Amino acid sequence: MNYWQISRDGLWDKNVVFTQMLALCPALAVTSTATNGLGMGLATTAVLLCSNALIAALRHLISPDVRIPVFIVLIATLVTLVDMALNAWLHELYKVLGLFIALIVVNCAILGRAESFASKNPVAASALDGLMMGLGFTLALIAIGGAREILGSGTLFKDAHLLLGSAFSFLELTLIPNYKGYLLMILPPGGFLAVGFLLVAKRMIDQRSARRAQEAADSQAVAAQA
């Protein structure tokens, strides 16, 4: 198992939002600020890591014919456990993240990773895949949330101290003082616009690096011939 490739896939090459185009519902719904994106991303990463490891551990026991209901029950159970545990023992954090946790159950990326990776791979690789896919999702949500927040309200990471503690209040920036706000970006259509433009940007970067690699290969071939 190539751990480097798994990490690269999760963070960039097969990014949940920008390449697989999965989990768009939570990606669009909560990313009105970068902080919200970060919260949703971290909560999802935790669940994805656990669900991938659990399903990989049980993969020999699960019949292919009934795997989907089994995955769904396992994921829903995990999310509920996380929800109850946070509520009971990390109540302050729950008050901030609680809104997002229930949304994780319907995140199809988690079922998608269980189906396409964890059910076929060993525990360690699956756990890493869960972690990296989760972090890739988190980065995507921060990018969408950041773009919407900067254009929509002129701030970045507003209220981050509520999520991360007051030590992180340095993250909170007001980029455009006295900004009246651009409501479109905060409203749901802004989510679609941000995802669309970021998708174009990612495709352009990918194409450029593919072209570079192609050119490098060509010139090597020419050099070898000469």
Partner 1 sequence: MKLNLAALRDTLGYQIALLGAVALLASLLLTQASQLTRADIAAAEARDLQVSLAQVLPEGSFDNALAEDTMMLDSPQGQVKVFRARLKGKVTAVVMKLSPIGYAGPIDLVVGIDADGKILGVRVLKHKETPGLADQIETSKGRWIFSFDGKSLLDPAPKDWAVKKDGGVFDQFTGATITPRAIVGALKRGLELFAKEHDRLFEPTTGGAP
* Binding residues for partner 1 restricted to 135-194, rule: CB under 8 A: 159, 162, 183, 186-188
72 exposure class (CB count in 10 Å sphere: 0-12, 13-18, 19+) = middle
Residue 95 has, within 13 A of its CA and on its CB side, a CA count of 4
Q: Of the ranges 58-66, 104-112, 129-137, 166-174, which one interacts with partner 1 (CB under 8 A)?
A: 58-66
Residue 33 near partner 1 by CB under 8 A: yes
d(CA 90, CA 84) in angstroms, rounded, equals: 10
Residue of 2, 65, 167, 226 that binds partner 1 (CB under 8 A): 65
* Binding residues for partner 1 restricted to 68-97, rule: CB under 8 A: 69-70, 73-74, 76-77, 80-81, 84-85, 87-89, 91
Q: What secondary structure letter does DSSP report for 13?
A: I
Query: Which residue lies nearer to partner 1 by CB, 19 or 87?
Result: 87
* Number of other CB atoms surrounding residue 210 within 10 Å: 10
Q: Is 93 in contact with 86 (CB distance < 8 Å)?
A: yes
Least distance in Å: CB of 13 to partner 1? Answer: 29
Least distance in Å: CB of 84 to partner 1? Answer: 5
d(CA 145, CA 36) in angstroms, rounded, equals: 7
For CA atoms 117, 113, 148, 83, the dihedral sign is negative
* Number of other CB atoms surrounding residue 71 within 10 Å: 23
What radius of gyration do the chain's Cα atoms show?
20
Query: Which residue lies nearer to partner 1 by CB, 70 or 108?
Result: 70
Q: What secondary structure letter does DSSP report for 219?
A: H
Query: Which residue lies nearer to partner 1 by CB, 33 or 45?
Result: 33
Least distance in Å: CB of 77 to partner 1? Answer: 4
Query: Which residue lies nearer to partner 1 by CB, 102 or 210?
Result: 102
Query: Which residue lies nearer to partner 1 by CB, 17 or 86?
Result: 86
Relative orientation angle of helices 34-57 and 67-89, to the nearest 10 degrees: 130
Binding site for partner 1 (CB under 8 A): 29-33, 36, 60-66, 69-70, 73-74, 76-77, 80-81, 84-85, 87-89, 91, 99-100, 102, 159, 162, 183, 186-188
